[in-house]
Amino acid sequence: MASRSRTPLTQAKFARYIKEGRGSGLGKDYRPWIEVGDFSSRGRSHRIRGWKSNRIHHFLSDHEKRVFLLLEWADCVIDIREQFPLLDRELLKRVANEMGTQCSTDSEAQEMYVPTTDFMLSVRRGDCIYDEVLTIKQSQDLNKKDVAKKLEIERRYFYEKDISWKIITEKDYSRQMVDNIELVHSSYHLADDKFSINTALANACITLKSKLKRPDLIVRDVTNELDVELKLQRGQSLELFKYLVATKQIIVDFSMVKVSAMLTTSSIANII
């Protein structure tokens, strides 16, 4: 739950953010309440083009980026809205009062901060789509009094909204899984960015899939061979391989296999 800002949150600034559409919209039309560049983050910030949204996502830490990659990979997650604002100020005040505390206020502008949660998700469960909230924290911070207070305000806020809410820490996911997804993530848009002729891409993919069905070969050797055969730039077939993995046309169990230069064709679970 963030309430960070580089400049005072005046009524004018709040109104401008609302007019800009921050915190509203779905898919490619969503705009986060906080964007990279709005303030200085303690950690590293990231701008990443999303698979599901086809827009640029804004992340304020490596931890946020890692969770985002896992959400991109999850088929049940159909929309990811980061830096999502808690705009119902009256509800925030009521929740804080019930807890015997107050909402954070900008000391200079004397206005309530607009807290944000890390992710508002649209998740498919069976035949239905639900909103679900994920808030991200380092496990070492959970016992801090001020962190616990903010998290409890957030939990109660979304309880009142009848929206599922949970915390995720670095202990809740595999770094190998994240690293594997990150390795192939940028290749997802390969068809849009690097191949102007879709038929050429399709034919190259068919040929590569066929070659990868042979057992006990090193994937890099196969892609190097295809570069020569199709007169492609060196490394282009390897990018094709990453594209096929990212689009789940080649299935590799990321939880069991570390994708590296020495990955073998025997590590491929299925080719679709």
For 100-144, what is each residue's pLDDT tens digit? 988 877 666 567 889 999 999 999 999 999 999 999 999 999 999
More confident residue, 103 or 7: 103
Q: What is the mean pLDDT of the chain?
A: 90
**Amino acid 107: pLDDT:** 63
In contact, 62 and 110? CB cutoff 8 Å? no
pLDDT band, very low/low/confident/very high, at 4 (cuts 50, 70, 90): very low
For 49-97, what is each residue's pLDDT tens digit? 999 999 999 999 999 999 999 999 999 999 999 999 999 999 999 999 9
CB neighbour class for 90 (10 Å; exposed up to 12, middle 13-18, buried from 19): exposed
For 160-212, what is each residue's pLDDT tens digit? 999 999 999 999 999 999 999 999 999 998 877 555 546 777 888 999 999 99
**Amino acid 195: pLDDT:** 54
